[in-house]
Chain A
């Protein structure tokens, strides 16, 4: 994002014409503005807010595009996404994907986590790699996300408001409510 004339030659003049000489917003400038809701460097402390730290870049870019068009339902994310370009989404995705994984401290049910581990292995592990710690392409990092956030997303999927990817829908359909609850506890417990 650096402009070609940002050299020592003009450094002295900057103080007098900061606005005229300022570079366009960097990835950090764009992304740090999100941290008020998503936590510093994308590590969330809010139970209904996803962590963005170490998230898959493509997952972030795709999510932002869908928020912008309204394909993915939201309260404020759609309104905010309209303020950015695809290039901005790429920059933000890149920034957050490079941040250190944020492990959350939350109470999960041991029995559910155990049951969820088996269900994940059998149903989800081909896309949600490494116990949901590895986000690949548009598959997001699930590990350590907050239980309420995961529950809210599953509710959106089940109601049809958020469209499930076809492969995921095939796997989710036969699962019971208790199974899905166990899966959510499993992902939330991963660190």
Chain B
């Protein structure tokens, strides 16, 4: 985002006006921009980001109140799921088709208006979203931008480096690149992965990826090794389960190293540097950099004191920094709810219900949330974590004595590998139908 305040106002042209509409709830903002893409006639919610959170927010707002216009803005014409992309990297899923959704049914089934454009700026004061194709005025805005990388904390890791050492932490071309590199690697090579300090998108993700890469090496390149350099002192999610799975399946192939924070990459030398000192060389290197809320959220002033994540009201997901803007998914601070696809889905529904309530002058409703997350260990064994969430004293907390991880003895692992496939089918169907 390069616009400063002055050029922003220039783009907007004449100042936006606010009319005192007669309907219940907040007055509708009347479009005042010369570049307005879609004439705004009634009440409008703009949703930024067509992933696990944004699609669901758009759909559920329309299902709950057809009189509200919903415009979904997304830079791509399709979305590739991060959940299950590790199975593609491990060679278990042969292409990304089962992980890919389109937006056409959200349009035809629910009347969501889809705009494929890059959001370049958000102006909370004038209730305006600036995109690469023009501006959109909103009454309420739902921001679900996912994550971007804190590249300043990973010396040498720029756009070019990403093509040599893929992050594959946003599913799509990066996922394909990492898979190709693993396929091209000679047997006997070393794969190096780095994982950032929590919080980051998908807490068990790096460990599932390590499992899936190990699975591939064991099947096809048994003389090879994988090293995971984890900035965290220990496995951050499903720890004992992952460790048992690694011991039983990948001894001699996979090595976990905790408290190894990668701070620099050496693209020419094909190495990563731990704390700028110890260098670890690899034939294939997968760098998962530290993360923050998507840059749209940062530019709109939605991040909190940590400069990384967006604080929100635990009931409405309205930003505590900017009025009439809601933040959901990985970008927001949702208390005990982890940064997962299922959390984003669940948060989006809570947000949708309360956006509709607020726009109709009705009472808001407290959150009841769920997270369900599966991780594959082998091609036919998976482990899970599940949680039920509620609001207490204005914070999202887990319901006491509920949730938790799979049985420690792996007695459910084969069943859970079957359930996980249905998880993906249903959650992607929710997002795309």
Contacts and interface: CB of A to CB of B under 8 A. Distances in A.
Interface string B338-378: 00001001100110011000100111111111101000000
Given A29-B350, A75-B415, A18 B402 contact: no
A107 interface: no
Nearest to B402: A83
A46 B430 CA distance: 11
Given A19-B391, A79-B403, A37 B363 contact: no
A22 B367 CA distance: 9
B412 interface: yes
B422 A37 contact: yes
A36 B346 contact: yes
Interface string A136-161: 00000000000010001000000000
A48 B382 CA distance: 15
Contacts of A81: 402
A30 interface: yes
B364 A22 contact: yes
Nearest to B59: A40
Contacts of A18: 313, 315-316, 318, 354, 358, 364
Given A32-B60, A49-B422, A23 B403 contact: no
Contacts of A24: 365-366
B363 A82 contact: no
A176 interface: no
A13 B337 CA distance: 28
B416 interface: yes
Contacts of A75: 384, 406, 412, 415-416, 419
Contacts of B391: 19, 22
Contacts of B416: 75-76
Contacts of B384: 75-76
A6 B364 CA distance: 10
B24 A46 contact: no
Contact of A19 (B313, B369, B430): B313
Interface residues of A, number: 43
Nearest to A75: B412
Interface string A38-80: 1110001111110000000000000000000000000110011
B394 interface: yes
B219 interface: no
Contacts of B362: 6, 11
Nearest to A48: B422
A33 B421 CA distance: 18
B110 to A, nearest CB: 10
A44 B425 CA distance: 9
Given A33-B346, A34-B370, A45 B315 contact: no
A83 B403 contact: yes
B364 A49 contact: no
A24 B364 CA distance: 9
Most buried by B among A2, A47, A76: A76
B427 interface: yes
B423 A83 contact: no
Contacts of A37: 372, 422-423, 426-427
B367 A29 contact: yes
Contacts of A26: 353, 365
Contacts of A39: 426, 429-430
A21 interface: yes
Interface string B20-49: 000011100000000000000000000000
B419 A48 contact: yes
A182 to B, nearest CB: 23
A175 interface: no
A19 B394 contact: yes
Nearest to B425: A46
Interface in B385-433: 386-391, 394, 398-399, 401-404, 406, 412, 415-416, 418-419, 421-427, 429-430, 433
A119 interface: no
B430 A40 contact: yes
A83 B425 CA distance: 25
Interface of A: 2-3, 6, 8, 11, 14-15, 18-19, 21-26, 28-30, 32-40, 44-49, 75-76, 79-84, 148, 152
Interface of B: 24-26, 59-60, 313-316, 318, 342, 345-346, 349-350, 353-354, 358, 361-370, 372, 384, 386-391, 394, 398-399, 401-404, 406, 412, 415-416, 418-419, 421-427, 429-430, 433
8 contacts: A3-B363, A18-B315, A22-B364, A25-B368, A32-B349, A47-B421, A80-B403, A81-B402
Given A19-B391, A44-B426, A76-B384, 14 more contacts: A6-B363, A18-B313, A19-B394, A22-B315, A22-B365, A32-B349, A33-B346, A36-B372, A36-B427, A48-B422, A49-B419, A75-B406, A75-B415, A83-B399
